[in-house]
Amino acid sequence: MKIKKFTCVNCGAPKVNEYKSPYIMCDYCGSFTDIDYTLGLDKWNESTVKTLNYQATKIALMNKIQAALQRGDKEQYFSLQKDFWDYYYRTFPAYLPPSIDDGYKYRDYLEVCAESSAEYGFDPKWQEYGVKQQQLQHSLTYYNDGTGNKVESTGFFRLAEFFIGMTKDGMRVFYENPKYAIMHDLIPEQVHMKMKMSMFVQVWIPYLTDADQERFLKMTGFSMQYVDIERPAGRTGECEHCKAEIYIPEGSYKVHCESCHKNTKVQQQFKCMSCGADNKVPEFPAKPIDCEFCGVENRLIQRLFG
Ligand SMILES: [Zn+2]
Ligand SMILES: [Zn+2]
Ligand SMILES: [Zn+2]
């Protein structure tokens, strides 16, 4: 079969099972590993009314957030940011990463979103960035090409390049901060970068000509490559949450269910490659793990694909 090519950022395994959500989960280690931007766009365009309502509410919230910033009210700013992220994920539940699979993780995740937004919001360096982005946005010119409003190329790519650079900078600072350590497990940095890009892409795609779209998708890492893939050996099994049928490739530790968007553990134990003792499979099987008995580091999945 021909499928879009995704390689797990954590364990190196290819995506082998079909998927229906914009977020790609690894079939071997269960981690959140990539984004299918076209499926994300489908969810965005599913209901025009919903999306227009969302945009109106977002503008209203952003005005309040801006006002809190101007007053220097960090607490209010933080709480409004939390409202915004909560509203976003309630409006578009398909955009909540499946790695955030319980109420506790969701609560922690919103805290991180709001706290980091507040940190950036009140830092003069990021404020300057924000001002510059707005300037670039305001200097864009539009024209009608007969199919609708399009944005003039040069100005748009100036904005896009600036946005990408600024977001990369922000990501680096964010992932280096030990306060947000949990995020390495929930959303790998590369994937998080793509989430941010995807929000930006969604807004701008309708204003781009075909040629500009192609260039833009390449820049943001969303050009898709199709590859031939043989379904690897494996067996069918049952999702431990919703009982739907899942395909479990040989060597997999955690398989993602496309019906309920939860992971099923398919191996509870592994044998240490050095002393042969049985060890418990860790929550994130892509991470190297020391044998409980002899201390030797084991890599559970890399040896299949490395
Ligand atoms: Zn993986
Ligand atoms: Zn399920
Ligand atoms: Zn051992």
Query: What is the CA(19)–ligand 2 centre distance, in A?
Result: 13
Q: What is the pLDDT of residue 162?
A: 97
Q: Which ligand is nearest to the CA of 291?
A: 3
Q: Residue range 35-59: average pLDDT?
A: 91
Structure confidence by residue, pLDDT tens digits, 134-152: 999 999 999 999 888 999 9
Query: What is the CA(272)–ligand 3 centre distance, in A?
Result: 5
Q: Which ligand is nearest to the CA of 20?
A: 2
Query: What is the CA(24)–ligand 1 centre distance, in A?
Result: 10
Q: What is the pLDDT of residue 234?
A: 95
CA 146, CA 162: separation in Å to the nearest integer?
29
In the predicted structure, residue 1 carries a pLDDT above the cut 70: no
Query: What is the CA(20)–ligand 2 centre distance, in A?
Result: 13
- Domains of the chain, by residue range, sit at 123-223
Question: Mean pLDDT score of the chain, rounded to an integer?
Answer: 92
Q: Residue range 161-168: average pLDDT?
A: 95
Query: What is the CA(178)–ligand 3 centre distance, in A?
Result: 30
In the predicted structure, residue 225 carries a pLDDT above the cut 80: no
Residue in the structure block whose two tokens are 């101007």: 70
Query: What is the CA(129)–ligand 1 centre distance, in A?
Result: 35
Binned at pLDDT 50, 70 and 90, residue 2 comes out as low
Q: Residue range 247-252: average pLDDT?
A: 94
Higher pLDDT, 221 or 279: 279
Nearest alpha carbon to residue 82 among 90, 71, 93? 90
Q: Which ligand is nearest to the CA of 272?
A: 3
Pair 191, 34: CB distance under 8 Å: yes
Q: What is the pLDDT of residue 152?
A: 97
Structure confidence by residue, pLDDT tens digits, 86-141: 999 999 998 999 999 889 999 999 999 999 999 998 999 998 999 999 999 999 99
